[in-house]
Structures are given as C-alpha cells and as structure tokens.
Structure 1
Amino acid sequence: MLALTELLKDWPCLVKGGSVRVEVKGITERSDEVQPGYMFVAREGKKSDGLGFIDEAIERGAVCIVTDRMTDLKQKDQVAYVFVADCLQFLSHACARFEGNPSEDLTVIAVTGTNGKTTVTHFIDQLLRSMGVKSAVIGTLGLVIDGINHNLPLPAMTTLPPVYLHRTLRYCRDLGITHIVMEASSLGLSQLRLDHCKIDLGLFLNLGNDHYAEHGSRLKYKKAKERLAHLASEVIVNGDDDFCASIIRKTDKPVMSFGQNLENDYTIELLKSDQSLTEMIVQHEGFSTFFELPVSGVHNALNAVAAISALEHLGFGLQEISKHIKVLKLPEGRLQEIRGANGVHVYIDYAHTPDALQAVLKSLALICRGRILTVFGCGGDRDPGKRPEMGEIAAFYSSIVWITSDNPRSEDPQSIIHDILSGIGEDTTRYLIEPDREKAIKQALSEARRGDFVLIAGKGHEKTQTFAKETIHFSDYEIAAKCFEEMDEEKTVSE
C-alpha cells in the first residue's frame, strides 16, 4: 500500500473530493481488475474510453479516479478525483513509484527493432547467465528466468504496460536478479510504457516495413522507435541500417555501432555459415576475436553481434565472451527445427514481415540441397501493404508456396490471400491456396522429399489462431510434429 499523497508527490495535478491521505492498494486502467482500495486510471483507449467505466470501478471499491479530461463527473464524496495532463505519463510514473521504483536497483537493457528483438534479448540473457550473472528476459515469450518461462498472470504483449512491468521488475529484484533484458516495441514506446523505467542500455536493430498502420504513418513509427534513445543512458545501434545509423546523429548519448561495414565500432567478418554453425571475426578497437556460433544465418550472426556488443559494453571482454558463445540457442519459434524420419527438415519461424521472411529464406537457401517449400500467410487488420511484398519474397526463394491464414482477425482470409497473390508473378513459382492453415502444413509435409526444407512462417511460438468471432488453440510446431508422427505410423503399418 502507498498513500495517495506519495503517488501524487511532485506530480502536477488537481484533486477534488475524497482524501489525499487514503491508502492506495493497487493501480489499474481496467475497471474489471479494480479491487477495494484501488486507483482507477480512466484513460481513453482505441476501442473504449475509461470514463465510461468509472461507476463500475467505484462499485468495485476504487478510492481514487484519475483522468486527463476536465469533464462533468458525478463525484462521490468518498472518492478522490485526480485530474492530470496526460493519463499515460501519470500511469507510468504512479506504477513505478507504487512498486518502489525497482528498475533503479537493476541493470536494464532494452532492445528495439522491427525484427530480431526476441532473439537478441535471449542471446544477451544466455551469455549473461553463462558468465554467472543473474538475469531475466521480459518480452514476447513472457517472463523467462534461467531459460524457464515463469507463468505470471501477464498480458500477451511484447512490452508490458506499466501496471505489469514494474510489478514484474520488483518480482525479479526480490528473486535476486540483477540484470533485465527486455523487448521495447514501437507501440510500447509510443504509449509511454517505459517512460519511468531506468534503462541503462538501448539497442537498435533495424527498421522494416511493419506496424505503419498501427502508428498512422512511417514517420510516427520511426518517432516511436527513437524514443528509446531518449530513455536510455547509452545506446548501441546497427550501423548498417539507415534508420539506426541516424540515431547516432540525433542523440547526445554515448553511442556505439555494430555491423558488416568497416566504419562500425564492432565490425563483423563472416567466414563460414552452414546448417548449424557460423564462424566469424569481430573487430573492435584494433583487435580481432574469433567466434564460432552454434546458429546459422547472416541475420543471426548480426543478432549475435548485437548481443556481444551489449555484453562488452557492460564490462565483459570479447575474449571472455567468445568462450561462452557456445551456449547460444535460438528461442522458441525462431528457426525452430523438426527433423522427420524421411530426411525432411521443417523450420518454424516467427517471420511475419518482409525483411524477416527474406532473411530466413535467404539463410535456408544457402544451406538447402533440396527444395524449399514455404507455408505462410499475413495477419488481418495489420499493414496490408506488406502482403504483396511477402508474396514476392516467398515466391523468389521457394519451389512451392502454400498461401494460407495467419490470424485473419476481422478480415476475410480470402481477401488477405488475394493481396498476397498480387505480389506473385504467374511464372515465378508454383503456388497453392489453402486458407486452412493446418491443411496447408500437412500438404507441404506430404509433398516434401528427402533433403527438402519446409518453412512454416509467421506464427512461430504462438499457440493461438485468431478469427473474427473466436480464438482457437493452434501451434505450427504441434501440427508439424503430429503430422510427422502420423506419417511414421503409416510407414510402419505399410511395412
């Protein structure tokens, strides 16, 4: 509990009614989460307005209502009404203070980028833990400590809202964790979720063609990403990416860069990359260090160097880091491999943007000795402009493409597929249309022969498929594994 006066201390506001000495037992922006003694922040959202839920919050026991609009409210004497300039900013401040500002006791590394956030955060965490540091990851896969997902009641968001973020940071601090590695999404940054979280190091990976519709424009998307440079004490950027490189010119914070171009502070020289191994040299300050990565692909080499540069920046030497590099393991749903008894290799990957899909397919093309068969779709209610581009990329690298559904949400799956088809030329490849994702996966695996690679892209670790009126359990990995089992059983029976 914390007195309302402590939450409002040093924060410009106007209080009407109630008592500022009341004890606040929790903070929420959802009326259905209100319990007796809670503060309810009635902010305006995209789908609903918190002002319409004030009565419900009070009935459930709210002792304080916060809003950023001076509207005529039917105030109740026992409830304090707090008027602030911006609910999002206040919510971030209040949640951090309510939990005791736990980020101040932690070393926090935040990673942003259209692609690669999950992989890089887990690479950093794996290296830290290998070198004896108690660390945790907060991101797309939830809260992961010691490589194990802690099933806390958290929303399925890449970057947690302040109510959950600071509560989770306190939970980690109380467990003795000293380092937090988190994903910083553009939506999380634009909604000020990290504004009162002390960030020691911010990593910028790339800027691709995604999330424009959610932000309103490419410019707003870039502005959202740039916020991390203002929040972090120090910054590391991918110097090969134009947007990331522009951060160097725009910030007065200490900045380092990594990439393949020689002008970067950490320069990568790739020596070899096959199905399970990448050899490279990282040059920094005139010294060269050899790294043997247990992962494949140029994009994963860049992800690894982003993690390596972060560790070096935290005080670990490159030679020391190189001794621990063997611990790196791709997180769930990132080029997650299933090998069938028939010599077919299946890869499950979260690639749901043009850049990510091209990076994965390009990596597979370098090591595949057979055909590449691709199963993918595009999400509904999300950036329709990327659909034809992803269709073109899939067709370029694949012998056969199955175009299917990927969380169609409120859109007609056939309409999404039509958008994808507009990017596929009639003479480029053979493509098949199967809106039922499970059927598409089974068709691809049935078609595959020894030496072929099957890429199932777009959903990765996700365990659900979202339609207009329902959300069902669905896992690409489970479907593929079950299909292989059934094929093996059929083969055994026939023999």
Structure 2
Amino acid sequence: MLLSELLKDWPCTILQGSIRRTIDGITESSKRVKKNYVFVAKKGVKTDGMIFIEKAITNGAKTLVIDRDNLDRTRIPEEITVVLIPDSSLFISYASAKFSDNPAEELCIIGITGTNGKTTVSHFTGQLLKELGHKTAVIGTTGLYIDGKLTETIRNSMTTMPAEQLHPFLRKCIKQQVTHIVLEASSIGLSTNRLAHCPLTVGVFLNIGMDHYAEHGGRQPYIDAKKLLIPLADQLVMNEDDETCRAIGEELTTPPIYFSSRHIHGTQQKKVLLANQGHHNEMNARAAIGALMALGYSLRAITPHLHALRLPTGRLEKYEEAGIEVYVDYAHTPDALQAVLEALSESSKRLITVFGCGGGRDRQKRPQMGAVAAHYSSHVILTSDNPRMEDPSQIIVDILAGMAGFATPVEIFIDRHQAIQYAVTQAQPGEIVLIAGKGHEQIQQIENQTTHFCDMEEVKKSFCNRNAKK
C-alpha cells in the first residue's frame, strides 16, 4: 500500500519527507519494525514510543507517525517521512484495519464485555456457532481458537488483541473460510481503541463488578470504558439481573435483547445448562444463547446443541485423585470468587481455598475477596498471585483486613508453589481444594521477573509428592 493511500482519509500534517512511498507494515513496537514499516510512536502507560524512534529507523522504518510535535527533527534523516496526527491509538486502529483491507466488514463478529465471564461466554458462543455449522474463531485471554482448537497464544496474555495484530488475524481467518468471530472486549482494550475500527454484529454486556478501577481512575470511568462497546455493535445483549447493565440498556434508543435468571429475550426458561457447574455458568450459557438469538436463531434451534458446552481452560478446571477434587479457576475479583465458591459449596464438602491478589492494582477489592473466601471456605490459604512490584506480604495484610470476625482458619504461604503443595497435602478424601486467581495463566510476575508458573501443573506435582511420601 502507498502511504498516501493510507493517509488520504485521516487528518494529518506532513512534517517532512514524501508520502509517495510503499509501506509494508504498521506497528507501535520498535522491536517489530521491519523494512519499509510505519512506526507509530505512541505514548503508553509505562513507556513513550518517542524514545524508540532511532531504534525503529535502524530496524527499517521509513515513516514515523507522532501525535505530539516535540520531536527533534535534526536527529531524523531527511529521507524519513514524519507525519503528525491527532491521536496515535486511534490512528493505529484505523491504519491496521485499512492496511488489512478492513476484514471486520466481511465477518460476523460478536464482542463480549463484562467484569467476569468473558472467556467462558466467548467459548460457549463459539461452541454453539460451531454446532450450528459455522466455522468460528474465538479470540481472547486464553488464546486464539478456530473451531475449538488452539492455534496460537496472544502476546502478553492480553484479553483484547492489539489492533495491529487483530486485523491481520481477521484477514487470515477469512482466508481459512472462517465466517464468525467471537472476541473478548476488555475495558482496557476498549479505552485504548483496540477495537475502534472493528465493527461488531453483536455486543454482549455480562456484568459490571470491581476490577481495573486503578487503571481507569475509578468506577465511573471503568463503566464508561465498557460503554465504548455500544457504538461498535449493530445489536446489543444485556444481563437484566445486573443493575448497571440494566441501566445501560435503558439508555439505549434501540432496546437490547435481555437475558436473566428467569428468561432469555422474553422466553421463560428455568434451566438451560446441562454439563457445567454453578449459577454463574448458567448465566454464562444464557448470555451465549442471547448472542445467538441476536443473530436470528430461535431458542428452539439452539437448545439441542447445549449439550456441547464445555468450560475453557482454567475455568473450574478439575483434577481428581485419591478422592480429592481440585479446581483451578481464574476468579480474581470478589464477584467471581463468590460465584465459584457458591458453586463448589453446593456439594457441602469441606472446602479449602488457596488464593492471593495481584499487585499494583485495585487494592480495595482485596479485603472483599478475603471476606468472601472466609465466608464460604472451611480453610483459607493465602499466597501470592502476581505481586509485580508490590510487597507480597502487604497484599496479604490487605486481604486479611476483610477476614476479621470470621472463625475460618487461615494460613499463609507467600510462595505459591508451597501454598498449593500444602493444600494438596492437607486435603483428605471427600474434600475440595480451589486454587483461584490465575486459572489458565502460565506465568508469575514477581518484581521485574516473569517466570513460568501453571497452577494445574503445580497441583499434579503436589499429588506426585503426596504419593511419594506415603
């Protein structure tokens, strides 16, 4: 594509160089720059793309796109084109879509947002679409799936894929005869314009709980970020049981399709889910059904395929040995932890819960999660999640503040490996162990170090050690 073609519909000022040049790619990462690439020097949360301009040029960039005119152009070679635009995050969304010839316009795309349940609902929706004969891709936290098979993982485990990756992937899907896409739309992804040029056939609102307040600057900015999904979608599906989602639905000029614990789109329905556990997964199934009804399917057409629903990796993922049931789940918010513990409590078995909280974000949810764990569990083991740059001990102190007044025994193992091993060792036949917070994740972030860590792997190792000691 010619740079002039890319820029012709976008407000910009050419500060130097020519726009009559061929471009071979667009990126906001200097590491991914290749010959004849456009480098967008976007200001990120932690780093500013401006400081990587020289590296981008060394790697082959011939065009620089900036949204702040504070560049020292005496250090930029004359043959490099420099373009000033109003908003770099919007530009990279637009440019990535246009460079891939706007693939989203050729697909049926369902975008799912909500504090909890995005991954499960996206997989449920994808599974139903496959059952109904559509070649479907699911894009989200656990990776990229085509017809239920994992094809690749997403860099940095981002819930919503960056625009420069998303649109080429959509084009690749089209070449593989995929017709339907289901993707997770996170508040961060929406607020940073990753989906700004990805029109959706259906948008689904699951729930609004406590998460990412710190990144957005409070609850209302978090809600406002979620609401950015609305103008992207032709049809909306809303959880009527969630007060905030219901309020958002009432603001719409076109009524959404509602699902709740009582009905789906006005149809009374007592129970729809057959094979999965808990009220939260019942609601996740109803959300998926609502998404398909928005595409024009009747409940009668969908119902015969509900037997195919399977939970994705790291969502109430079960391992059983020696009469002990162990579940690994991604629950990392108060609402999600409560939903999972309620589901597991239905068996009335003794329940051991192992969890921590992530560092550097949402401190206010920590005591709430402590209270939830203490209320539902027979025994709580507190440990590290991804403490990042925060002191793990302080995170645990914050969690303990919510556990005051409960008689539930609490033990602390800052090392997550030790915590899981201890829980498995202490558990007796007929008991349940929940390992919460990381689910599908394969890494742990402690200070500046990122190391491999998988909860389910640790569970299996712990049983090996338990058996060896017998």
- On whether the aligned pair clears a TM of 0.5, the verdict is yes
Match of 1:41 in 2: 40
Match of 1:474 among 449, 453, 460: 453
Equivalent residues, number: 468
> What is the alpha-carbon distance in structure 2 between the residues aligned to residue 56 and residue 300 of structure 1?
47
Q: Give CA-to-partner distance per residue, 1:235-290, whole Å, 9 cap, x none.
A: 0000111111122122224511110256x7346654xxxxxxxxx1xxxxxxxxxx
Q: Does 1:51 align with 2:30?
A: no
For residues 243 and 213 of structure 1, what CA distance do their matches in structure 2 show? Answer: 19
Distance 1:98 1:10 in 2: 13
Note closer, same or farther for the CA distance 1:359–1:266 as it changes in structure 2 (3 Å cut).
farther
User: In the superposition, relative to structure 1, how do residues 366 and 414 fare at CA in structure 2: closer, same or farther (>3 Å)?
Assistant: same
The match for 2:440 among 449, 455, 461 is: 461
Q: Note closer, same or farther for the CA distance 1:171–1:152 as it changes in structure 2 (3 Å cut).
A: farther
CA distance in 1, matches of 2:109, 2:412: 45
Partner of 1:346: 326
Matched letter for residue 329 of structure 2: D
- Cα distance in 2, alignment partners of residues 72 and 178 from structure 1: 43
Q: Is the 8 Å Cα contact of residues 107 and 179 (structure 1) preserved in structure 2?
A: yes
> Counterpart of 2:340?
360
User: Match of 1:323, SS?
Assistant: helix
Specify whether residues 266 and 306 from structure 1 end up closer, same or farther in structure 2 by C-alpha distance, changes over 3 A only. farther
Match for residue 99 of structure 1?
Answer: 100
Match of 1:285 in 2: none
CA drift of 1:111 comes to: 0.1
Could you say what secondary structure the match of 2:439 adopts?
coil
What residue number does 1:198 align with? 199
Q: How much has 1:439 moved relative to structure 2?
A: 1.1
Partner of 1:225: 226
Q: Is the 8 A contact 2:443 2:452 kept in 1?
A: yes
Inter-partner Cα distance in structure 1 for 2:81 and 2:281: 52
Instruction: Tell me by how many angstroms 1:20 deviates.
Output: 1.0
Letter in 1 for 2:444: Q
Q: CA distance change for structure 1 residues 402 and 155 in 2, over 3 Å: closer, same or farther? A: closer
Secondary structure in structure 1 of the residue aligned to 2:226? helix
1:462 and 1:268 mapped to 2: Cα distance? Answer: 37
CA contact 1:108–1:180 (8 Å) conserved in 2: yes
1:127/1:328 contact within 8 Å kept: yes
Deviation at 1:77, TM superposition (A): 2.0
Change (3 A) 1:254 1:167: farther
Counterpart of 2:132? 131
Structure 1 residue aligned with 2:30: 31
1:326 aligns with 2:301: no
- Alpha carbons 1:26, 1:37 under 8 Å: kept: yes
The 5 A counterparts of 1:265-414 are 265-266=265-266, 269-270=269-270, 280=271, 291-340=272-321, 342-368=322-348, 370-414=349-393
TM-score normalised over the length of structure 2? 0.97
Match of 2:109 in 1: 108
The 8 Å contact of residues 259 and 267 in structure 1, kept in 2 or not, is answered as: no
Q: Does 2:87 match 1:86?
A: yes
RMSD value, Cα: 1.5
| 2:20 is the alignment partner of 1:10 | no
Task: Indicate how the Cα distance of structure 1 residues 176 and 155 shifts in structure 2: closer, same or farther if over 3 A, else same.
Answer: farther
Per-residue CA deviation, residues 391-450 of structure 1 (Å, 9 max, x unaligned), is: 000000011000000011101111100100111125421010111111111111122122
Query: In structure 2, how many angstroms separate the alpha carbons of the residues matched to 1:72 and 1:186?
Result: 31
The answer to whether the 8 Å contact 2:12/2:83 transfers is: yes
Q: Are the structure 2 counterparts of residues 253 and 168 from structure 1 closer, same or farther at C-alpha, using a change threshold of 3 Å?
A: farther
Distance 1:37 1:254 in 2: 47
Q: CA-to-partner distance for each residue in 1:212-235, whole Å, 9 max, x for gaps?
A: 001111111010000001111110
1:311 Cα deviation from its structure 2 partner:
1.2
**Identity in percent:** 48
Is contact 1:465–1:473 with CA below 8 Å preserved after alignment? Answer: yes
Of the structure 1 ranges 94-103 and 67-76, higher mean CA displacement relative to structure 2 is found in 67-76
> Structure 1 residues 23, 389: CA separation in 2 closer, same or farther (over 3 Å shift)?
same
For the 8 Å contact 1:17–1:76, the answer to whether it is kept is no
Whether the 8 Å contact between 1:136 and 1:146 is mirrored in structure 2 is yes
Match of 1:440 in 2: 419
Q: CA contact under 8 A between 1:403 and 1:435: conserved in structure 2?
A: yes
- 1:155 is displaced (CA, Å) by 4.0
| Structure 1: segments with no counterpart, 5+ residues | 271-279, 281-290
Tell me the distance in 2 between the aligned counterparts of 1:253 and 1:33: 42
Contact 2:374 2:406 (C-alpha < 8 Å) held by counterparts? no
Alignment partner of 2:386: what SS? coil
The code of the aligned residue for 1:407 comes to N
Per-residue deviation at 1:102? 0.6
Contact 2:143 2:154 (C-alpha < 8 Å) held by counterparts: no
Distance change (3 Å), C-alpha of 1:373 and 1:153: closer
Unmatched segments (≥5 aa) in structure 2: none
Structure 1 stretch 207-216 or stretch 314-323: which is displaced more? 314-323
Query: Residues of 2 paired with 1:338 and 1:61: CA distance?
Result: 49
Could you say which residue in structure 1 is the equivalent of 2:466?
Answer: 487
Spell out, residue by residue over 1:336-371, the C-alpha distance to the aligned partner (whole angstroms, 9 max, x if none): 00111x211111000000000000001111123x20
For 1:155 and 1:296, the matched residues in 2 are separated by 29
Superposition map of 1:244-259 within 5 A: 244-259=245-260
Counterpart-to-counterpart distance in 2, 1:361 and 1:155: 28
Aligned residues of 1:260 and 1:268 also touching (Cα < 8 A): no
Query: Match of 2:448, as an amino acid?
Result: K
CA contact (8 A) 1:40 1:62 kept: yes
Structure 2 Cα separation of the partners of residues 155 and 253 of structure 1: 37
Is contact 1:154-1:164 (8 Å) kept? no
Alignment deviations for residues 99-127 of structure 1 (CA, whole Å, 9 cap, x no partner): 11010110000000000000000000011
Partner of 1:156: 157
- 1:26 CA displacement: 0.6
**Partner amino acid for 1:453?**
I
Bigger Cα displacement from structure 2, 374-383 vs 440-449: 440-449
Residue 389 of structure 1: CA displacement? 0.5
- List per-residue Cα deviations over 1:78-115 (Å, max 9, x = no partner): 11111111111111100000011010110000000000
**Deviation (angstroms), 1:149:** 1.2
Q: Is the 8 A contact 1:206 1:243 kept in 2?
A: yes
SS state of the match for residue 167, structure 1?
helix
